[in-house]
Amino acid sequence: MPIRRLDPATVAGISAGEVIERPASIVKELVENALDAGATRITVELERGGLGLIRVTDDGCGIPSGEALLAFDRHATSKLAVLDDLGTLATYGFRGEALAAIAAAGEVELLTRPGGVTDGVRVAGGGGVALTVGPAGCPAGTSLAVRRLFAAMPARLKFLRSPQAEAAAAARVVEACVLTRPGVHLVLRVDGEERLNAPRAADAAGRLRAILGASASTLIPFDRGEAGWRAHGLAEPPGAVRRRGRQWVIVNGRPVEDRALRHALLSAYAGQLPRDTQPHAVVYLDVPPAQVDVNVHPAKAEVRFADPSTAYRTVLRAVRDGFASAGVAPRAAAAAAGESPAGAETGTGPVPAGALPAAEPAWNWETPSGSGGVEVLGQLFRTYIVARLPDGLVLVDQHTAHEKILYEEMATQAAAAVTQPLLLPHTIELAPSEVLRLSGQEPALRALGFDLEPFGGNAIVVRAIPAGARDRDIGPLLRWLVEDLEQAGRATAPGELNHKLRATVACHLAAKAGDHLERAEMEGIVRGLLALADPASCPHGRPTFVKYDEGDLARQFRRTWGLGKRECH
Ligand code: ADP
Ligand code: MG
């Protein structure tokens, strides 16, 4: 697309804002432009923390000579024509503001040449001086140098930190790019010295080595997803964390600052991080594009999720599963060492025999957080969620409530919404009788989220499983369903059979009594439950919650209100 000015309506529709705060912001914008230009090699040079020089050189598509000057116009972009394109945009840039803002903040020199043409072009000026354009010889690609940054903006200069701190901030931008774009060779040079050299690598582990060195190889890989959401990456094993490590969170390919997602990552360590330490970790969260809004912050470091609790849960579960598969799960380690995870709090009151390990507190306090009128206060006996509603207190049975939610999802949503395709089809062996019992039931199983196919002999190929299920659930779950089918017999009406199968799947996938739940999970359950038309009982008929409103409490405490009455009569 040629570079052109956005129309005013489109300009008004995108979050605009001052993008140039410090050298790192310039590095970020220029590196993103290079990536948008399809570069395979990008070199970033800094002198004096960026105040002496910032130069980003790429081997991307270059800018046609006729457009080079226009690129510095405010709201001139080649990446977005109308606001409708925003949702489908695959580029980093789209506001057309960066080059204009950079040229206002310092002196610029652009050298650029598209691959197919012989002559390049040079644009120079800025920092209060008019831009001039002229022919120039240069390699294919683009290089943009910024000098005398903020020379005419003493207020900005005052807010800058030391050259080392500014260079470090810029280096973090390059590191994030190393992790998001494994196919791009990145080089960072600071005051003439090469600080980072990340050749192309096939995977995140290879790229992480360019940043962390040999310690990258001790990180545990994780990868788990469901229903279009997937979290994968690498995290330092619990028990090995000794210092303040670095965490990167990358949502749909964009590095973001998201406290909730970092919290989700840290929660997977279940309180096992020594004081003042943090793990090294990189988390890639891939979410359906419609579920995330990246257009929230001018510097694009923040995102907003349509469903933040699913984002939280996806990350937490993926990391936790990764630790479990690698045999480094924090809870096992804690039990072996005889520690109680949260330390200080110990609960009182009756604990159902066998429901909890001895050292567990009965009461898992959460810092209350409100959303949608539901404020989760904590988890009791690892079985009940305690929450405050606008009109009272509610105790929710975490299993029956979750079971009910999952059941209703299967009953009311299309099959596509309750299934998760497996990346690699899974083959399982069942007894011959079980295979036979399942054959002919494909439509019923499809409504539950299963996509199965006989594979000769006693093997079944599983191509998709119910959303929320894990690989290891497949065998047990199918055996439960076989049992339901056995019991149902010929006389059972199809509606009755479907109800039974759904209830079985929901029961199997729901949180169990004894499971530790994170706040986001508890909130999800309470809110999900209360959103149902008929929330009171689970598919097997057990109650899902008990509620106390003001009147209930007044009756319990035998409060009688009236004029002139004293409190204790
Ligand atoms: P945006 O990236 O939001 O479009 P910018 O001000 O960063 O806005 O850049 C304006 C335009 O200049 C881009 O749309 C692009 O066409 C062109 N451009 C900037 N940097 C490069 C580069 N490194 N290689 C090729 N084209 C570039
Ligand atoms: Mg840009």
Residue nearest to atom 12 of ligand 1 (CA): 71
Q: In angstroms, rounded to a whole number, what is the distance separating the alpha carbons of residues 548 and 391? A: 9
Mean pLDDT (the chain) is 82
Nearest to 264 by CA among 340, 321, 324: 321
Instruction: Note the pLDDT of residue 84.
Output: 53
- Other beta carbons within 10 angstroms of residue 432's beta carbon come to 9
Question: Residue 60: which pLDDT band, with cuts at 50, 70 and 90?
Answer: very high
- Closest residue by Cα to atom 19, ligand 1, is 33
> Which ligand 1 atom sits nearest the alpha carbon of residue 3?
16
DSSP run (H or E) holding 13: helix 8-13
Instruction: Compute the distance between CA of residue 135 and CA of residue 120 in angstroms, rounded to an integer.
Output: 6
Q: Choose one of 14, 32, 36, 184 to mutate for the ligand 1 pocket test, by most ligand atoms within 8 angstroms of C-beta.
A: 36
Output the six-digit token pair for 428: 């399982």
Q: How far is the CA of 370 from the centre of ligand 2 (A)?
A: 37
Name the CA radius of gyration of the chain, rounded. 29
**Percent of all residues in the chain with a pLDDT value above 90, rounded to a whole number:** 34
Q: Which ligand is nearest to the CA of 98?
A: 1
> 30 pLDDT exceeds 60?
yes
Q: Which residue of 6, 78, 109, 146 sits with most ligand 1 atoms within 8 Å of its CB, as the best mutation to test the pocket?
A: 78
Closest residue by CA, ligand 1 atom 17: 71
Beta bridge partners of 221: 234
pLDDT, residue 566, reads 59
Cα separation, 288 vs 355, in Å, equals: 38
Which atom, in ligand 1's list, is nearest to the CA of 60?
A: 24
Question: In which band, very low, low, confident or very high, does the pLDDT at 491 lie, cut at 50, 70 and 90?
Answer: low
* Ligand 1 binding pocket mutation candidate from 10, 14, 33, 44 (most atoms within 8 A of CB): 33
Q: Quick one: three-class SS letters along 75-129?
A: CEECCCCCHHHHHHCCCCCCCCCHHHHHHHHCEEEEEEECCCCCCEEEEEEECCE
Task: Note whether 397 and 542 are within 8 A (CB).
Answer: yes
End-to-end distance of the chain based on CA atoms, in angstroms? 81
CB atoms within 10 A of CB 63: 24
The tens digit of pLDDT for each residue in 378-411 reads 999 999 999 998 888 999 999 999 999 999 888 8
424 or 200, higher pLDDT:
200
User: Which amino acid, residue 404?
Assistant: K
Distance CA 312, CA 551 (A): 36
pLDDT above 70 covers what percent of the chain? 83
What atom of ligand 1 comes closest to residue 101's alpha carbon?
6
State the pLDDT at residue 568.
58
Q: Write the residue with the smallest CA distance to atom 21 of ligand 1.
A: 33
Residues enclosing ligand 1, CB less than 6 A? 3, 29, 33-34, 37, 58, 60-63, 71, 76-79, 93-100, 142
Q: What pLDDT, on a 0 to 100 scale, did the predictor assign at position 359?
A: 39
CA of 302 relative to ligand 1 center, distance in Å: 22
How much distance in Å is there from the Cα of 47 to the middle of ligand 2? 22
User: In terms of Cα–Cα distance, which of 20, 286, 281 is closest to 156?
Assistant: 20
pLDDT (0 to 100) of residue 89: 52
Q: What is the pLDDT of residue 481?
A: 87
Whole-number Å distance, alpha carbon 133 to ligand 1 midpoint, is 16
Q: Which ligand is nearest to the CA of 56?
A: 1
Question: Residue 227: pLDDT above 70?
Answer: yes
Q: For residue 534, what pLDDT is reported? A: 86
pLDDT in tens, 183-221: 999 999 999 988 889 999 888 888 888 888 877 888 999
Q: Nearest residue CA, atom 13 of ligand 1?
A: 77
pLDDT in tens, 428-480: 877 777 777 787 788 888 889 999 888 776 788 898 898 878 877 788 888 88
Nearest ligand, measured from the Cα of 75: 1
Please report the atom of ligand 1 found closest to the CA of residue 141: 24
Concatenated DSSP letters of 402-449: HHHHHHHHHHHS-GGGGEEEEEEEEEEE--HHHHHHHTT-HHHHHHTT
Whether pLDDT at 350 is above 70: no
Q: Which pLDDT tens digit goes with each residue over 102-160? A: 998 899 999 999 999 999 999 999 988 999 999 999 999 999 999 999 988 887 888 88
Give me the pLDDT at residue 440, please. 78
Q: How many whole angstroms separate alpha carbon 121 and alpha carbon 70?
A: 13
Contact in structure between 423 and 398 (CB atoms under 8 Å) = no
- The per-residue pLDDT for range 265-314, each reduced to its tens digit, is 999 998 788 877 889 999 999 999 888 886 655 555 678 888 888 999 99
5-29 pLDDT, tens digit each: 766 555 544 444 445 789 999 999 9
Above 50 in pLDDT, residue 358? no
Per the model's pLDDT, the better-predicted residue between 422 and 544 turns out to be: 544
Provide the 8-state DSSP code for 561.
-
Distance between Cα 76 and ligand 2 center (Å): 10
